[in-house]
Structure 1
């Protein structure tokens, strides 16, 4: 899956690394693959110089790489950078793409998003990414995030915005690293895969499937369940004769047809209550409540 994401691109691809394993080599692989596809690549370099980013790239395609210098003055204190963190807005970035002679859908690479997040509100940062994705000028956004520099809530917000998240970690051997790729399609389907990868000096990506751990695919043996009613002094089950006898017993709250007819049929000489007022009764038909002290 990692090789497929590198070759096709599209959407917002997040490379998540830590101090134990750097994802900058994988970032160079994405840049090299986009240049070979004939796409223009704009790099916002806040943490690495241009020489380090361009090292090993295909010399025949490097003219399509536009490096916007943010290193070594990302905050613009000495005015030695052509692009500062403060200018990380959809308006400024879109203008950079429009000023390019080959104006078409291009690739934006941010090295790194951690520098931007340290000086921008996460809500404003999220709005900027959404505007860039919907603007139509940028085809692919690739960002490097140092996850161990931020709170988990901030990392979760950025991962939620990304269509593909690649988390890199060190492997058992020094030659390879482990990449856990999580890809979310437009239909909402989520795919995950862990692979070994290595980056050569010419920014070529080599991917190897991670072998499964032994014993994980084996089926667990069935566990014998004991019967909790086996040692009871009384029987909880009914025999066939007991079941038939139980079904013949009439329930007390169920009326038979004969009982219903007897209750609904008016009997001759049924009792009635007749009230005849005597002389001591003081009843006023116009004011029935006259005897009440109200």
Structure 2
């Protein structure tokens, strides 16, 4: 098994109950969601898919025909506001056994959450995929958060949740806390997608002249959403142990697998796509400052013999300190009696009986 974090997440080899993918217009989360679905179906798992920006037909075309019966779709794309059939507004309709069409996307709790909950209860080994939570967030960020939180509560070791979000769509929050920040705190794994940087004529001009022109309106490039060129995934993985793993991996769709319904992404080190060298370990910096004693007419340094003599020399104050230490050690090791005579104890050697009152 590969040691790259993205490869482990796609294969669901380690604990990752809730994966939150932040994409942009330059690189969509749909290829990652599709790859997670393909690998889950290959492991005989079922898919419970909430589609808000992808048609069910386009979604099913991404998967092998023999696995279609294991895909259960909540269709919030075809007619989310019930414009096509007013008589059935507010109620879900089934187009086939594995597809439910939502005709009132505003009723998230009843028409979206309820069928997903029922399906996960009947299918304990499945993967829940949401192509984009942004359309629901445009209706209500609070209710969209509650929906994702309810889906996250359904996750187990056998059921995991993968949600896409457009991070470049800035939604105004009345409470001050945006939906993206709230879901980042709730998720087990946060993946931020970045398109591979394209070398343009501007960069060539900058390399030659040093002047970097800025093109304000070039938010899309040739490499945007081009899987054969690859993309970069910046991963923040919060483990059950409390540790947080940060890693950046590249992913690319090989040319021969791009047209296949079961083609899988190839996970590679990020520098393989960016063509940047890995940072080398920092070498110890050598002090190259000039030596002020180098060009003097006399010598200020000591030879080895002078240094040894200096180290073996015992100075007078060192001897005094040594004697004080020896006296203190003698006091500690043996008992001593101290006599402190007072004024009445004046003893005269010539008259030993002087203290007698005769």
TM-score, normalization by structure 2:
0.57
Matched, 1:167 2:181: no
Partner of 1:142: helix, strand, or coil?
strand
- Aligned-residue offset at 1:130: 3.3
Extract structure 1 runs of 4+ deviating beyond 6 A.
Answer: 245-248
Matched ranges for 1:49-198 at <5 A:
49-76=55-82, 79=89, 81-82=101-102, 84-89=104-109, 92-98=112-118, 102-122=122-142, 124-135=143-154, 139-150=159-170, 153-172=178-197, 174=223, 175-198=229-252
Cα 1:221–1:129 change in 2 (3 A) is same
Where does the alignment leave 5 or more consecutive residues of structure 1 unmatched? Answer: 231-238, 249-264, 269-294
Please name the residue that 1:40 is paired with.
Answer: 46
Where does the alignment leave 5 or more consecutive residues of structure 2 unmatched? Answer: 91-100, 172-176, 199-222, 224-228, 294-312, 323-339, 344-358
- Aligned-residue offset at 1:71: 0.9
In 1: Cα distance, 2:144 partner to 2:102 partner: 20
Residues 94 and 132 in structure 1, CA contact (< 8 A), matched pair in contact too: no
Corresponding residue pairs, total:
257
In 2: Cα distance, 1:136 partner to 1:162 partner: 12
Please name the residue that 2:9 is paired with.
Answer: 5
Residues 145 and 179 in structure 2, CA contact (< 8 A), matched pair in contact too: no
Cα 1:92–1:177 change in 2 (3 A) is closer
Matched, 1:29 2:54: no
- Aligned-residue offset at 1:146: 0.5
Deviations 1:154-202 (A, max 9, x none): 4222122111122111114641111122211111121222222124332
Q: Which has the higher contact order (CA 8 A, sep 6+)?
A: 1
Cα 1:100–1:245 change in 2 (3 A) is closer
In 2: Cα distance, 1:160 partner to 1:100 partner: 24
In 2: Cα distance, 1:211 partner to 1:72 partner: 40
More helix by share: 2
Partner of 1:182: helix, strand, or coil?
strand
For residue 220 of structure 1, the aligned residue among 280, 283, 296 is 283
Please name the residue that 1:286 is paired with.
Answer: none
Partner of 1:61: helix, strand, or coil?
helix
- Aligned-residue offset at 1:48: 1.3
In 2: Cα distance, 1:101 partner to 1:241 partner: 87
In 1: Cα distance, 2:39 partner to 2:252 partner: 15
Cα 1:243–1:67 change in 2 (3 A) is farther
